[in-house]
Structure 1
Amino acid sequence: MRPIAIGLTAALALAALVPATVISAAKDKEKPAAVDAKAREAGMKAAPDVAKAAGISCTVTDARLIGNDKKTSTDYYEVACQQGLGFALLAKKDAAPQAYSCLETAQPGADGKPSALACLLPANADPKTGLAPYLAKANTPCDIQNARAIGAGAKNAYFEVACKGGAGYIVQTSAPINVDQDVTVNSCLLYEEGGNVSCKLTDKATQLAVVDQLNAAAGKSCAIKDKRYILSTKTDNYFEVACQDGKGYVLQQAAAGGALVKAIDCAQAGFVGGGCTLSDAVAAQTEQAGLYSKLATKAGFDCKVEKYGMLPSNDPRKEIVELKCSNRPDGGIGIFTGTGNTVYDCVTSEMNGYRCSFTKPDAVYPRLTADLKGLGKGSCTVSGSRIIGQTATQGFVEVACSDGLPGWVMAYPLNQTAPKPAELLSCLQAKGVGGGCKLPTNATKG
């Protein structure tokens, strides 16, 4: 996903906020102006209350009075804060105080001259370090190389951070800025170049350098031909890699911490932003379908795989795959681990925690009809079915009969790939199982 456009007040030309009669910027750029003892005393006396009223995240550790504008009854302060990020404060009589981070005040005015509100306190000498607590709160490791203020909207303020090693981020904080409120950190790659929220401290090529690190961690024997950013979710970032040999895959990176989660072959990556575009995903999918056909057959499930879909797996060594077959109407759920393979048909898969979506409900009716016949109920041709519950060892399937006579409930053993029903219950006997029978032709019959 990509962030939508946000209406922002640009990082302010702050020199315009301070009348020239209040203060003038230091003339020697190489030497920061000394902080006058009386200015510090006045600042420490008044600024803590002003900072609190402004709603910013600041336990004041140092402060100075920048100056006064008697004409507008406005006092100007600088504060250094225990939380890291320092601020310039504007306290106007009978108005809520305003706060501007030292990153904002560090930017020169439109005339190129330093802002009259530029931070001078020793603790604010390197304003970019003030963003470190915000990155830490968002679990984003970054050795800050550069940073800038972008601007603020009604509820949020935005900063750009460039890290050593090439990574770049947009940091979104509350407005007023407060580290105790929500902090969101997103990769620069989420933002379109030239947008009102975008990155300027690193270019796209530099930001994509992380792909080489992820690729090395994946242990793939791939000479990278091309790479691209695909998308990000709340938890992960996704990148596509194309190899010189024509194959490719998608690298999944944890948004928190930046570590590799896993590499996903292009044949299995269709769920990620439309899948691979730098390599031949169709050829990869065809090859993978052939592999799943072999694995399913080896597991005792005769299926020429026509289509497959990946299901979530918490174990990177385990693939959970729904299979659609071209040689039979019903499909199944395959669990492939490399050391052992299991395929549940669509009757028993749901009992074991997986639901088929490629297989139409009536495709399993012949199987259920045959199971009833094996239990001596050959007069019932199944016309409807549903899973109604399970115990630690059994799953229960309600079936309806096409002749409208009362149906049945069959109990199947769990954790078996093609089990025969172990027990047959009438709907009257099954009242205590998952609420009992509810299919239309069974609900009114005991």
Structure 2
Amino acid sequence: MRFTGIGLAAALVVAAMTPAAAMAAKKPEAPAGGVDAKARERGMAETPALVTAAGLACTVADARFIGEDKKAGQSFYEVACNPGLGGVLMAKTEAKPQFFTCLETSKPSADGKPNSLACKLPANGDPVQALAPLVAKSGAACTLEKARSIGSNNTNSFFEIACQGGSGYILQTSNPASPAGEVKANTCLAYEPGGNLSCELTDRAAQLAVVDTLAAGSGKNCAVKDKRYALSTTTANWFEVSCQDGKGYMLEQANDGKLARAIDCANASFVGGGCTLTDSSVAQTEQNNLYTNLATKAGFKCKVEKYGIMPSQRASQEIVELKCSDRPDGAVAVFDGAQNTFLNCAVSEAQGFRCSFTKKDVAYPKITADLKTLGKGDCVVSDSRAMDKRTADANYLEVACSDGLPGWVIGYAPMSDKPKEVLSCLQAENLGACKLPTNKRKK
């Protein structure tokens, strides 16, 4: 059985998954011809206390006494709730009442005959749609078509649901099942067929059909060659597609069923170990060449050996860290139409981007030159850090000098590596205290 990292550890051992013991006991015969008036009267009188004792989030709207097994000391009641999930209560002297949803008690008996504990109250007439509040609580985008009870353990109940369009989920709820408790919906694709938890109401091919829809809406011009489910998180499902033209993508599907983003396989190594249907090393090489050409065209000569995508501020902007094989100083490249900027790895920290491929000390000669243009040519930069605060006009970099004398705070315009002002640590106190060892104010 395959589980995702979203809190299903409690489901690894699903013991006593159905009310089998209760169903195996001698069952009372239900009255013929629907709900008996006296049975309803007794049910309405006795179930409110049983509901409370069972810990159900249920306001009793209707109820009936089903019958009793005197030898076993068990009594059975059907209850309809508004709000709450309807089902059957099994009461036993000096024991906490047990509750089973109508979906559970609707299962035929072992001999194939109708279950004598099947729900009959009008409000419980559609046990599948009764799960709708649970589905809504889970956040899954699902219009219910079919459902079945898988069973329960001491803490959780499990249901399979099939949705319009072919998708399917396993619902994990509290036990007793209630919309008032925590509800999780996990795609059927996360479970291997045949396990304790697996789906039977939908097939994997139908569930994967959504990938074609996601790919068509990605804007990637991908004629899908192959596809697979990759993994799930608490907020999304991930799918890989390979395309007829040799490219491949990871598609992120949000919990509402819509496409959140499509990521080239070259940049998708963080998703479950990356693409397996596409040779991502080839894609990485192609992207290296692309960024080499873009950087050279923008005036930053760099044979890109490695790159990393960074968060951007708007859709038209792409921010990428570049590692160069032909120069020691990498850069954070900001590609934004005609406004392309290359931030060295010291200034980039002040701008909110930390390099991971290149050490920032490689950029110190450039920062030393920046100080010289601002009239502070007697300082050779030996260390740097981003100041704690910034202004609307500038981001600030604290620097230390190699001679051990107090250093400076340099202001750079947002998303720029061009220095605009230099301040002493005293002058920059409104930006936070200087913290480099040689710059700390002596007490």
TM-score by length of 1: 0.89
The aligned residue for residue 302 of structure 2 is 303
The aligned residue for residue 433 of structure 1 is 431
Conserved 8 A contact 1:250-1:269: yes
Return closer, same or farther for 1:77/1:25 CA change in 2, 3 Å cut-off.
Answer: closer
Higher mean C-alpha deviation, range 319-328 or range 364-373: 319-328
Conserved 8 A contact 2:155-2:174: yes
Aligned counterparts, 1:23-422, within 5 A? 23-24=28-29, 34-83=34-83, 85-255=85-255, 257-313=256-312, 315-337=314-336, 340-388=339-387, 389-416=389-416, 418-419=417-418, 421-422=419-420
The amino acid that maps onto 1:9 is: A
- How many residues are aligned here? 436
Give the deviation of 1:171 after TM superposition. 0.8
Distance, in Å, in 2 between the alignment partners of 1:178 and 1:80 is: 13
User: Any stretches of 5+ residues in structure 1 without a counterpart?
Assistant: 27-31
Q: Deviations over 1:391-443 (max 9, x none)?
A: 22122222222232332222222232x30x332333344444311x2212232
Give the deviation of 1:16 after TM superposition. 4.1
The amino acid that maps onto 2:91 is: A
Distance, in Å, in 2 between the alignment partners of 1:59 and 1:313 is: 50
Give the secondary structure class of the aligned counterpart of 2:53.
helix
Return closer, same or farther for 1:394/1:194 CA change in 2, 3 Å cut-off.
Answer: same
Conserved 8 A contact 1:407-1:426: yes
Q: Deviations over 1:155-196 (max 9, x none)?
A: 221111111221010111112222112211111112233332
Identity of aligned residues (%): 57
The amino acid that maps onto 1:74 is: Q
The aligned residue for residue 442 of structure 1 is 439
Distance, in Å, in 1 between the alignment partners of 2:364 and 2:313 is: 32
Distance, in Å, in 1 between the alignment partners of 2:193 and 2:311 is: 33
Give the deviation of 1:301 after TM superposition. 3.1
Distance, in Å, in 1 between the alignment partners of 2:313 and 2:57 is: 39
Conserved 8 A contact 2:394-2:414: yes
Conserved 8 A contact 1:84-1:130: no
Q: Deviations over 1:230-270 (max 9, x none)?
A: 11111111101111221111111112x10111222222222
Query: Are 2:12 and 1:6 aligned?
Result: yes
Conserved 8 A contact 2:218-2:262: yes
Q: Deviations over 1:126-155 (max 9, x none)?
A: 211111111112232322222111222332
Conserved 8 A contact 1:299-1:343: no
The aligned residue for residue 29 of structure 1 is none
Give the deviation of 1:339 after TM superposition. 6.5
TM-score by length of 2: 0.90
Conserved 8 A contact 2:224-2:244: yes
Give the secondary structure class of the aligned counterpart of 2:166.
coil
Q: 1:423 aligns with which of 412, 421, 424?
A: 421
Distance, in Å, in 2 between the alignment partners of 1:37 and 1:217 is: 57
Distance, in Å, in 2 between the alignment partners of 1:166 and 1:338 is: 42
Distance, in Å, in 1 between the alignment partners of 2:373 and 2:424 is: 16
The amino acid that maps onto 2:14 is: L
Q: Deviations over 1:328-375 (max 9, x none)?
A: 222222333456544333233233332222221211211112222333
Conserved 8 A contact 1:84-1:132: no
Distance, in Å, in 2 between the alignment partners of 1:7 and 1:304 is: 54
